[in-house]
Amino acid sequence: MTKTPDRTLRIGLAGLGNVGAGVYKNLLKNHALLRERTGADLVVTKIAVRDPKRKRDVEVPPAQLTTDWRELVDDPEIDVIVELIGGVDGAFELISAALRAGKAVVTGNKAVLAERGKALIELSERTNAPLYCEAAVAGGIPIIKAVKEALVGNRIESIHGIINGTSNYILTRMTRAGIAFPEALAEAQAKGYAEADPALDVNGWDAGHKAIILAWLSYGRWLRPEEVSVIGIEDISLEDVAFAGELGYEIKLLGVVRQEQATKRIEVRVAPALVPKAHILASVHGVFNAVTVRGDVVGETLFYGSGAGQDATSSAVIGDLADAAQNLANAVGTTGFVPHGEYGEALPLDETVSGYYLRLSVADKPGVLAQIASITGAAGIGILSVIQPEPEQPSEHVPLVLLLHDAKYGDVQHALRAILALAAVQENHTLLRVETLGQS
């Protein structure tokens, strides 16, 4: 057997924050293992940082540091650029420059891919320079590799995912400990599970960016952010958590990607939803992520694991670097499954179909439920079940909870406007999807 010649993959690392430090640390830690498995030495030769004097968790030789990422791109010795600076515009400029220079790129930046991914993929193909992005979705869970490679023989019928660990931790604490959203968020921040500014996590857009990427992998179309419906968890109350439990559900921030079979239009949305307790996604707690993918050949598959954090995300980055080492050694440029089909337009939100949970505050008097049922009936929306608990003390208004049969979102919104216009119904309400999982 001919011995494989010694090879070195020279890496330019842009960003030495939490994930960047993890990549640097774990490349050193498992250097021998990676060399054994890839036949190459994976070596970080230069690192771009904003502040070279900042104290970090890892010690880096000062000579390796630069404040200008262009030095990484312009260095002919560097084979691959790892982009971990975050944001959109600056990251787009860096990745574009690296691809034009013919360098492979590894990124964990879901925002730049969701907003500018189409242009980056097209540039990658024109320059024959590969762009790897496993770390952009679900941290250490290899969901992108699974869809691109293991499930390449399937038409993807649907994806349902808990793909934001911060929101899942908050909802878990609300469900299990009975603490309200502000307290659960503060706890997540204290434990390092949420940023000082948690907006993208709790408003749903971190998961929204990931859902856009999964939709491209599945159906070949980059949906614009304005074509995607995203609702966060900020308004979920303990009352809704309790009612959901009584009905046999847990509330999860769920990303949904699927295709309408009749028209091939693509549905992408993120919102808190009721998940049946009997389904495995309901048992995903804390900061963990889970994604179910249903293919027309394989059926339903489940991917579960740590969705964020230094080590989980750096594991995905290093996996991409290992692929880059092997592909570059064999003179392979753009790699793997590239979904050119663009199978369908975006499905308008009003035409999406699901069941619904509706909590109202209504006057405690006879005839109110009949009025509401008359409105839903006229809209062709069936009522599956009703909860109207006895008030613990006399009150003019009481909660009324309805589970509605599958209906178009636009029809439900039209009926809801008529219901809220009733004199006996107050304006404050909660409308959540009820997801039927395990079906295409």
Give domain limits for the chain.
7-139+311-329, 148-306, 350-434
DSSP 389: P
Task: Judge whether 365 counts as a catalytic residue.
Answer: no
For the domain bounded by 350-434, which CATH number is listed?
3.30.70.260
Strand pairing partners for 9?
Answer: 42
pLDDT of the residue at 334: 64
Taking the C-alpha atoms of residue 199 and residue 205, their distance in angstroms, rounded to an integer, is 8
Q: What is the pLDDT along the chain (440 residues), one digit of tens a residue?
A: 333 456 899 999 999 998 999 999 999 999 999 999 999 999 999 999 999 888 888 999 999 999 999 999 999 999 999 999 999 999 999 999 999 999 999 999 999 999 999 999 999 999 999 999 999 998 889 999 999 889 989 999 999 999 999 999 999 999 999 999 999 999 999 988 888 889 999 999 999 999 999 999 999 889 999 999 999 999 999 999 999 999 999 999 999 999 988 888 999 999 999 999 999 999 999 999 999 999 999 999 999 998 878 898 999 999 999 999 988 887 776 654 566 565 678 999 999 999 999 999 999 889 999 999 999 999 999 999 999 887 777 778 899 999 999 999 999 999 999 999 999 999 999 999 999 886 44
Q: Which CATH superfamily is domain 148-306 in?
A: Dihydrodipicolinate Reductase; domain 2 (3.30.360.10)
Burial 320-342 (b: 16+ CB within 10 A, else e): bbbbbbbbbeeeeebbeeebeee
Residue 51 near residue 71 (C-beta atoms within 8 A): no
Terminal alpha carbon distance of the chain: 49
Taking the C-alpha atoms of residue 272 and residue 253, their distance in angstroms, rounded to an integer, is 4
pTM: 0.92
pLDDT of the residue at 440: 40
**Planar angle of CA 440, 256, 316, nearest 5 degrees:** 110
Alpha helices in 224-308 (DSSP H): 238-246
Residue appearing with tokens 């070195």:
8
pLDDT of the residue at 195: 82
Q: Which of 46, 210, 252, 408 is catalytic?
A: 210
Taking the C-alpha atoms of residue 209 and residue 230, their distance in angstroms, rounded to an integer, is 10
- Torsion sign across C-alpha atoms 61, 67, 72, 77: negative
Is the domain defined by 7-139+311-329 classed in CATH 3.40.50.720?
Answer: yes
User: Which tokens is 359 given?
Assistant: 């909590």
